[in-house]
Amino acid sequence: MNEHSNECIFCNIEKSRIVIENSLAILFYDSFPVTEGHSLIIPKRHIADYFSLTGDELRAVHELINLQSERLMEGDKSIKGFNIGTNAGKAAGQTVMHCHIHLIPRREGDCEDPRGGVRGVIPGKMKYSI
Ligand code: 5GP
Ligand code: ZN
């Protein structure tokens, strides 16, 4: 039922690293965090990317994103926002080919000018003007 890849680092994540889970998804901290609290949410099934998530898996992932965002904000009052994102495909920057969603806490002053947020995936395109 649950597809597993022996070669995949996320399929083989140590149990002790799991922060929260439900029947279909797991949340753990990124080993190379962009900001403190940077979390990764994955389906338990080894699937390539976001577009392969079933409706039930989407709901499971969504539940962990919401739960973790609340927990992080309760535990750290300096968190004022989040970036939520997923890289789907090598061309989009995906390096681990097991679907995962990044939950990145943001704090005032954590970068010089945060405007544009995820637009920053293409350097130089973060800001826009009408
Ligand atoms: P991608 O570039 O595929 O969207 O994101 C992969 C993420 O996995 C990166 O943010 C990277 O820091 C994280 N990462 C890479 N190897 C490991 C690991 O062994 N354990 C954990 N927890 N995160 C990892
Ligand atoms: Zn996997």
Sheet holding 39-43, edge to edge: 18-21, 25-29, 39-43, 101-107, 79-85
- Which ligand lies nearest the alpha carbon of 7? 2
Domain locations in the chain as residue ranges: 15-121
Dist CA 100 CA 79 (whole Å) = 22
The predicted-structure confidence for 60-100, as pLDDT tens digits, reads as follows: 999 999 999 999 999 999 999 999 999 999 999 999 999 99
Integer Cα distance of 30 and 90 in angstroms: 19
- Kindly tell me if the per-residue pLDDT of 1 is higher than 70: no
pLDDT (tens digit per residue) in 13-44: 999 999 999 999 999 999 999 999 999 999 99
> What's the predicted TM-score (pTM) here?
0.97
Which residue from 8, 40, 49, 101 has its CB within 8 A of the most atoms of ligand 1, so it is best to mutate? 40
The CATH code of domain 15-121 reads: 3.30.428.10
pLDDT over threshold 70, residue 2? no
Q: Is 48 in the pocket of ligand 1 (CB under 6 A)?
A: no
Under the banding of pLDDT at 50, 70 and 90, the label for residue 130 is confident
> Are 116 and 123 spatial neighbours (Cβ–Cβ below 8 Å)?
no
Give the mutation target among 7, 32, 38 for probing the ligand 1 site: most ligand atoms within 8 A of CB.
Answer: 32
- Distance between first and last Cα of the chain: 49
With beta carbons less than 8 A apart as the criterion, state whether 28 and 35 touch: no
